[in-house]
Amino acid sequence: MRSLLKYLRNYRKESVIAPLFKLLEATFELFVPLVISRIIDVGIPSGDRPMIVRMGLVLIGLALVGMVAAITAQFFAAKAAVGFSTELREAVFSHIQTFDFTRIDKIGTSTLITRMTSDINQLQNGVNMVLRLFLRSPIVVFGAMIMAFTIDTKAALVFVVAIPVLSVIIYGIMLLTMPLYKRVQGNLDKVLGHTRENLTGVRVIRAFRLENKELKDFEFDNRILTKAQTHVARFSALTNPLTYVIVNGAIIALIYIGGVKVNVGDLTQGQVVAIVNYMSQILVELIKFADLIVLITKAIACGDRVASVLKTDNGSEAVKALDDKETSAITNGDYIVFDHASLKYEGAGDETLSDMNFTVKKGETIGIIGGTGSGKTSLVNMIPGFYPATDGKIYIDGKDAASYDGAELRSKVGVVPQKAVLFKGTIRSNLLWGNENATDEQLWNALNIAQATEVVKGKEGELDAVVEQGGKNFSGGQKQRLTIARALVKNPEILILDDSASALDYATDAALRKALAEIKDTTVFIVSQRASSIKNADKIIVLDDGRIAGIGTNEELLESCEVYQEIYYSQYEK
């Protein structure tokens, strides 16, 4: 939690001004009982109306000054809290962007969303309330006690007993609730994860008529969250009644002691009223402080969760620099080299990919084929460093892929994933993700290669045609062609098409492959289940259960690789 305080450094002025003005407000508030005591003891018995009016104006003046101080404090506290949460959210988002897929899989998407939204909002509220009340409440409590001692020492001893008892209660409840709030936020992660899965897979759920099952699963997770919230709320709810019991008991004691002293002439009625008012002030402030402690407890629990994300390394490990001669010997002039590389997902029992050993020359077209679950997507995800090799090495352009800066490596690579993703905006704004400085000529050239020209020309506004969220106003094939065009706008050195033509008809697929073959100096990886999509590739890699079953051209594999033969002849007659 302490590590997050650095995001307040740009708001030092606000973080100082807010508590100081709250301190000023509290100071003026402490004078109110004395003024009232003066009215009761002097003004009313003597019937001195001018004096009562003067004291009344003093009370109004104290109230106005206190109000201005409170508004000023709350303005600066809110400014500091919102600025703090803004900078923290930006830092968390930027850090998440550096994560490789392993880290994202480990933490979980729903958890990351919760920590960037709910958790940081709790921190914002915590900072705001701490700046407003953390200094004010103790000053009022101890200030009221000191002022009570100036009136009567014996009566003020009630304060000495009550305040430590209240402090123990508040601190004990804080110790009890802090771990419980962490558990509540963890259960919230599960509910949000379940909700996200349902929204993403709503069509599949309806297709298999599993609505009732999903409702039951959601209700189960929601009940656990509700029980956790209720459990912690029971402890938090004890704060106010216990505080009221002790403070009201103290007020009863003060009234009794004050009544006895008034009878013997040691105290005046006004002084008793002042002491009771001071105890009432303490009651109000301790109730506020108790609520503040609950809020701080939530904020600390959430802050620890946010800090854990920032402390998570991004997955890139330092790589020992290789001698130029050694690197040259390994790559042997090849553009991409898989040197016995393997991949094991974190938490998995076995390796997903084992002993990937092959080379690729610049400008070659590489086809990757294999059965479902054979590791095709995992293999191409290792090239841009989404999943780093857990064993062996990968060299790109004569350099160890693990030694690249993430942005530097991905600047060389254009990826078209299995699931075509378009973002809300326009066709132009989606294409410019590839290269924000691309000209219209470059955009149309990429669309032409991707066989998407007719798609764009068929829309009103053409490049400025509206794209709805998720590309809902485009068919599957249209989305695939536009995502291919987006990758081509980048003019990448390495283009990865991960089964990205599955929704295209055979004629469009053939035209796309022909256009891609004419691009010079771009190394293309085509992942496909269709033999027709990769049979003309310079080299075909056949995967079977995470291992290489064969490497070669279409003709070579038809003679030597049984796995490839099985796939090929299931789609073509012998």
Residues in Cβ contact with 96 at an 8 Å cutoff, skipping those fewer than 6 apart: 104, 112, 116, 309
Which domains, ranges and CATH numbers included, belong to the chain? 2-311 (1.20.1560.10), 324-569 (3.40.50.300)
Query: Tell me: the pLDDT tens digits for 14-23?
Result: 888 988 888 8
User: Ramachandran region of residue 424, left (φ > 0), alpha (ψ -120 to 50) or beta?
Assistant: beta
Q: Which of 33-47, 70-84, 199-213, 223-237 has the lowest mean pLDDT?
A: 33-47
In terms of Cβ atoms closer than 10 Å to its own Cβ (0-12, 13-18, 19+), residue 213 is: exposed
Per-residue pLDDT at 223: 92
| Range from 235-239, 347-351, 424-428 that averages highest in pLDDT | 424-428
Q: How high is the mean pLDDT of the chain?
A: 83
Per-residue pLDDT at 75: 92
Q: Which of 97-111, 224-238, 310-324, 363-377 has the lowest mean pLDDT?
A: 310-324
E strands of 375-483, at which residues?
391-396, 399-400, 413-416, 425-426, 466-467
Question: For 532-549, what is the mean pLDDT?
Answer: 87
Closest CA to 352 of 376, 384, 336, 386: 376
- Evaluate if residue 319 carries a pLDDT over 50: no
Type of residue at 426:
T
Question: For 412-416, what is the mean pLDDT?
Answer: 88
- Evaluate if residue 80 carries a pLDDT over 80: yes
Q: At what angle do helices 12-30 and 136-151 cross, to 10 degrees?
A: 30
Structure-block tokens of residue 425: 């905006």
- Evaluate if residue 224 carries a pLDDT over 80: yes
Closest CA to 366 of 519, 494, 482, 480: 494
In terms of Cβ atoms closer than 10 Å to its own Cβ (0-12, 13-18, 19+), residue 123 is: buried
Per-residue pLDDT at 316: 55
Rounded to a whole number of angstroms, the distance between the first and last alpha carbons of the chain is 67
**Measured between alpha carbons, how far is 416 from 108 in angstroms, rounded to an integer?**
23
Type of residue at 207:
A
pLDDT band of residue 76 (cuts 50, 70, 90) is very high
Q: How many Cβ atoms are within 10 Å of 477's Cβ, its own excluded?
A: 19
Q: How many Cβ atoms are within 10 Å of 119's Cβ, its own excluded?
A: 27
Query: Tell me: the pLDDT tens digits for 321-350?
Result: 555 555 555 667 788 889 889 988 877 778
- Evaluate if residue 317 carries a pLDDT over 60: no
Quick check: pTM over 0.75? no
Type of residue at 536:
N
Closest CA to 151 of 55, 279, 262, 272: 272
Higher pLDDT, 506 or 547: 547
- Evaluate if residue 232 carries a pLDDT over 70: yes
Residues in the chain: 574
Residues in Cβ contact with 265 at an 8 Å cutoff, skipping those fewer than 6 apart: none
Query: Tell me: the pLDDT tens digits for 344-378?
Result: 887 777 888 888 998 888 888 899 998 888 888 88
**Measured between alpha carbons, how far is 246 from 223 in angstroms, rounded to an integer?**
35
Q: Residue 458 in 3-state DSSP? A: coil
Q: What would the DSSP string read from start to end of 211-274?
A: HHHHHHHHHHHHHHHHHHHHHHHHHHHTHHHHHHHHHHHHHHHHHHHHHHHHHHTSS-HHHHHH
Q: How many Cβ atoms are within 10 Å of 556's Cβ, its own excluded?
A: 14
Q: Which of 81-85, 240-244, 459-463 has the lowest mean pLDDT?
A: 240-244
Q: Residue 91 in 3-state DSSP? A: helix
- Evaluate if residue 43 carries a pLDDT over 50: yes
- Evaluate if residue 282 carries a pLDDT over 80: no
Per-residue pLDDT at 185: 76
Listed as own residue / partner, the contacts of 206-210 with beta carbons closer than 8 Å and 24 or more positions apart are none
Higher pLDDT, 561 or 44: 561
Type of residue at 189:
D
Per-residue pLDDT at 280: 77
Type of residue at 34:
L
pLDDT band of residue 535 (cuts 50, 70, 90) is confident
Question: For 515-525, what is the mean pLDDT?
Answer: 85
pLDDT band of residue 320 (cuts 50, 70, 90) is very low
**Measured between alpha carbons, how far is 151 from 167 in angstroms, rounded to an integer?**
24
- What is the share, in percent, of the chain residues with pLDDT greater than 90? 5
